[in-house]
Amino acid sequence: MRAAVPSCHHPPNLIRVPWEGEGGVALLSVYLRHLGPRCCWHTHPASLRPREDKDPTATSMKRLPVLWLLLWVCALYSAGIYLFVGGFLLVRLEVNRTSTCEDVLQPGKEPADFCRVRPRFRRAVLLIIDALKIDFAWFDPDNVAPRPYENKLPVLEETLSSKPAHSRLYPFRADPPTTTMQRIKGFTTGSLPTFVDVGNNFASSAILEDNLIHQFGQVGKRVVFMGDDTWENLFPKKFHRSLPFPSFNVKDLHTVDNGILQHLYTTMVGDDWDVLVAHFLGVDHCGHRFGPDHPAMADKLTQMNGIIRSVMDHLQNDTLLVVMGDHGMTDTGDHGGESQKETDAAIFLYSPSPLFTAAPTQSEPDVVPQTDLVPTLALLLGVPIPYSSVGQVLLPVFPPHGQTDGAVGGLSQLEALWINAKQVNRFLETYSGMAKDIQPESLSQLKADFSRLSSEYLATVQQGRPPSPQLAASLQAYLTSVRDTCRATWAQFNSLKMAAGLTILAFACLTCFVVSELSVAMIREDGPGLRASAGAALVAGGCAAAGQLSARGYVEVAWCLAAAALSSELFFLWRARGSGIAGVEKMGSASAWLTPRRLLAPPLLVPLLRCASLFSDSYVIAEGRIVTFLVLSLALYIPIRLNWDGLLLPPSHDPLKAVGILPPPALSPSTVRKESGTLLACLGLLVGSLYLSLSFHACREEQGSCQPSSFLSPLSRLQDSRLKNLHYVLSVCALALWTYLLRRCLRHYGNLNSASGAVFAARWVFLLLPACLALYWAVSATPEDSFRNLAELIAVAHLALPRAAFCLLGLGLALIWLDPLTVYAKTKVQAEARGPSLPPRYRASTGISPQAELHHLIPQIYQRMRRSLEDGELSAGGEADGWPAVEAYGLGTVYSAPLVLFCGLLGMGLLLLHPEGMALSFLLLLLQMGAVLHIHASCTTLSGLHGAGSGGFDVPWTPVLLWSLAATQFFHATGHLPTFPSIQWGAAFVGFPDGHTGTVLPASLVTLNTFASHILYSAGCPLLLFWPLVCEVRGGRPGSACGEDGKDAVMEMRLREKPQLFSSALLQLSTRYLFILGVQVFASVCAAGILRRHLMVWKVFAPKLMFEASGFLVSSAALLIGVTLVMRVDVAVGSWFKRLIPDASR
């Protein structure tokens, strides 16, 4: 008896009788009469044995070579990014010198102990109300309907009106970045923090530069601090007494403020302090959680008003009160950027004794820079100005020249300006001697100006004559010029590192492109592998280290990394030029892979145009809508190109084909119409998803008329109960639809039948996780003052539900990784009813549903079965007796099903870190991913007409580019922007409402929130390889029988048949995706480097670079996870066949 025969004849055939079971049907082998033209391959499991003359490892994909190549390419990109960022975002040079009381204040005089002179004020109270923007401090008596943040600090207006000589209110302008740690550095050191400092906002390190806290300690002043624990990290062991409270939990409005109030008044009435610093956080946290236009903000500002009034009542005559904000906030309550709403805080000065000589005049400053607080406080309290300060004294608090009698020990305006100018000039001389970044012309001009002013002031003092009116103005102009010069040149760029990073990134892009085009040769034994390139990298890195040791005595790792990366790239490209292309030509690939015609094709031209546009600040500002347009344009290009090539519609009737003179078309007209209809329907779905996704975009502050989506606000911010309920219902429905669509997809292809860990996750975790999310959203939306009797239960649910969701997510992902197969196999001993003339049967079916299962039947597992039959390897005799018939479900989607399930669960976990309204956006993301996959599959099928397809597993550039652009598009559609104020810090507290003890976990949660779309699209990138096989057309040619000419629909088992091509296709797809991401990073790097002196560099180009580089690193990691999961599935498939056929070496 033969082991396998093509049963495409009309005698008895096999019908599949439904067996009730979730996700598909079992198959009962019942032989009935002829069922029609559909047929299948039947074979015996023994035919799965490998032939002795074949390599038993031929069915294993090249897993390690693919993985090592991808890791190497990612490492090259990372090295280039690291080097460029290290040269572009350097922290300015710090001058670690300290001012002392013996500093010479007047040229030509003996040193005097400035600290022995009695100061203007003996004590000072600094009330820092975090995020107290100037709009909160103004009071408008004519405003009869104030907003929640307006007219809530009447104590300021009352004091200004009743005591104009005792108080002033000014806008207090911060230098960006407007984050708390940098602002504390600014108004304690008087220096200008650089852009890169924003990365340290939640990992504060001690301030090493001279500062006010240090100076207070130097002269014996006792500094008592209470409030934001950032101060404790910046000034460790510097306080006489410290009461820090955790600051990172932005959802906690009261802990820090109430903690301060428990100690504030008792400390003030005591006598064990000289400087009291209290840093309140409630206003800032209220802005982050609810925004400024919320009743909670009114309550918090009212509380601050009462605190200010009580503190003023406790002040003594020799005490100065400073009430100030460290930064402002946007209309959404965020900060970190450089918009005026973020930089303009408020500062209120008050003393029970007269502080000003007269009422406010027109000469009063319109705005007070934050750096000006440092020299002003220092001189008022009788301590030296910190060494590195570039601030300018606030003149109105000092009396004019000759009017100092009323202020004991006080300085006049001219004396204060001179001390200030002397200190700034000393710092400028020291700094210019250590760093050479200030332009020589500017430096010479500043030195000449100070020399002239010094001579004039010295002559005035020595001669005892009144100073000229212009001298004070000239000193002010000099101080302003120094600060402006420092601000313009303080970004210290390392041009050599920047050039090295650019070079490595350029060669990394070229290397990645070559690897993608030579993917087949790369995994061959004689191909240009990595061993030689790794050896060249080690040698070059070692030589660089040895050279640095001999020349400088120490090793800078960055240059060793640069030498290793560059040598590895160049050596690989040299070997690829010598051997790689020839290997590809032998295998029949195109030789002209780097021709201009190929590079300028639309799929490559679009990313080139996008990269060129990254040099425009207007494009970066409007990137969200422009990328949406690019995705839409590229999607429309696909059917237009198919129609141009005559592939979108069925070919016209040709009589020569009808009579058999010419071969018939590859697909029947009905199949062409069906695939074209599918393509156009998915294109419509994609267009609709893109249009709706625009409703979830956020707004940059440069887009003045833009209104951010209401779905970006958490439900707790919404005050309209009907709108809140509507948002909640829509979010839950979107979550339910997400779950249903993914489970329906898995059930459709028969992947919910087995008892594996992945199927358990699909059946149970996929149901419990959405339930946890829905309940958590309901708890989060509950106002704090509601259900007071259930407050403890709500607090427990607020903590337990997200953590339960995290546990379920971890369990589901672990089950998928450990047991990824979703294949269900059923064996049945041969029945005597089959008769002696019928062979044993092996059937691998998708087992989807009674109807669809017929259309997804896999007639053969491997082409080896066919070869075994043709070679007569097995006889028709009794060897087959006793073997079971095998029926396999879900084998046709064995690779894609675990990946779909993995991305589905991961998407739910990422959604947990977003506002509730983003569930609708995530649903659109899922629909868009499905639409792109089906468009790609239909395009692949239609391109097979007239031999237009490639015939292999290669994924063209167009769908890869579309996939990468969609990731960027949904970065914006989930409410994110390449700006620091748009970062959704609330993600760090999902499941951790009481905050964190470290920074790794909250930073990880914020990263997952920010780059959710990058993660999902990168991890799901291998689906572009699998989906055309999942959706391949079965028996589309008119008059063809199943199995003819190898046209059977074996779906993803084709990859198992050709492991070499499977490995190369997976490598090619991954490197093409990395290439597209890499050229975008390279363009951002070039834009930041070339435009580093541009007006908008720190506002637009530098943040874009940081987000683009971070997105690439996160995408690379997610892509590697997705590829590794595919390899894990391949290992599991091999083990499954070994268990199925124990004596087979497969």
Amino acid at 881: D
CB atoms inside a 10 Å sphere around CB 781: 20
Contacts 24+ apart (CB under 8 A), 776-779: 776/801, 776/802, 776/805, 776/912, 777/715, 777/728, 777/731, 777/732, 777/916, 778/728
**Strand blocks (E) in 467-603:** none
In total, the chain counts a number of residues equal to: 1146
Reported as a single tens digit per residue, the pLDDT across 592-636 is 555 666 666 677 778 878 888 888 888 898 899 999 999 998 999
In the 3-class helix/strand/coil scheme, how is 696-760 assigned residue by residue?
A: HCCCCCCCCCCCCCHHHCCHHHCCCHHHHHHHHHHHHHHHHHHHHHHHHHHHHCCCCCCCCHHHH
Beta bridge partners of 129: 280
Reported as a single tens digit per residue, the pLDDT across 940-972 is 888 874 334 344 688 888 999 999 999 999 999
Alpha-carbon gap, residue 1093 to 232, rounded angstroms: 36
Q: Report pLDDT for 172.
A: 93
CA 1051 to chain centre: 35
Who contacts 922 (Cβ-Cβ below 8 Å, separation ≥6)? Answer: 734, 738, 907, 910, 911, 914, 974
Residues 1034 and 941 sit within 8 Å (Cβ to Cβ): no
Who contacts 152 (Cβ-Cβ below 8 Å, separation ≥6)? Answer: 136, 146, 298, 301, 302, 304, 305
SS3 945: helix
Alpha-carbon gap, residue 1065 to 1068, rounded angstroms: 5
Who contacts 458 (Cβ-Cβ below 8 Å, separation ≥6)? Answer: 106, 107, 108
Question: Which parts of the chain sit beneath pLDDT 50?
Answer: 1-58, 107-108, 110, 197-204, 406-409, 580-591, 659, 662, 829-884, 945-951, 1035-1048, 1143-1146
Alpha-carbon gap, residue 207 to 197, rounded angstroms: 12
SS3 1030: helix
Q: Report pLDDT for 830.
A: 37
Who contacts 711 (Cβ-Cβ below 8 Å, separation ≥6)? Answer: 695, 696, 727, 915, 917, 918, 920, 921, 975
SS3 172: strand
Residues 894 and 887 sit within 8 Å (Cβ to Cβ): no
Alpha-carbon gap, residue 741 to 488, rounded angstroms: 55
Beta bridge partners of 123: 319
Who contacts 98 (Cβ-Cβ below 8 Å, separation ≥6)? Answer: 210, 214, 218, 386, 387
Q: Report pLDDT for 617.
A: 86
Beta bridge partners of 347: 170, 324
Beta bridge partners of 170: 347
**Nearest to 227, CA basis, from 336, 137, 129:** 129
Alpha-carbon gap, residue 972 to 91, rounded angstroms: 30
- CA-based end-to-end distance of the chain: 25
Who contacts 797 (Cβ-Cβ below 8 Å, separation ≥6)? Answer: 775, 776, 779
Q: Report pLDDT for 194.
A: 64
Alpha-carbon gap, residue 902 to 1128, rounded angstroms: 13
Alpha helices in 63-218 (DSSP H): 63-88, 134-137, 154-162, 180-189, 212-218
Tokens coding 1082: 């390279």
Alpha-carbon gap, residue 412 to 414, rounded angstroms: 5
Alpha-carbon gap, residue 1145 to 743, rounded angstroms: 35
**Residue carrying the six token digits 């095998």:** 886
Alpha-carbon gap, residue 787 to 169, rounded angstroms: 42
Q: Report pLDDT for 744.
A: 92
DSSP string, 415-428: HHHHHHHHHHHHHH
Alpha-carbon gap, residue 1092 to 409, rounded angstroms: 48
Residue 1084, classified by CB atoms within 10 Å of its CB into exposed (0-12), middle (13-18) or buried (19+), is buried
Average pLDDT, the chain: 79
Alpha-carbon gap, residue 516 to 71, rounded angstroms: 14
Residue 554, classified by CB atoms within 10 Å of its CB into exposed (0-12), middle (13-18) or buried (19+), is exposed
DSSP 8-state class, residue 1045: G
Q: Report pLDDT for 824.
A: 82
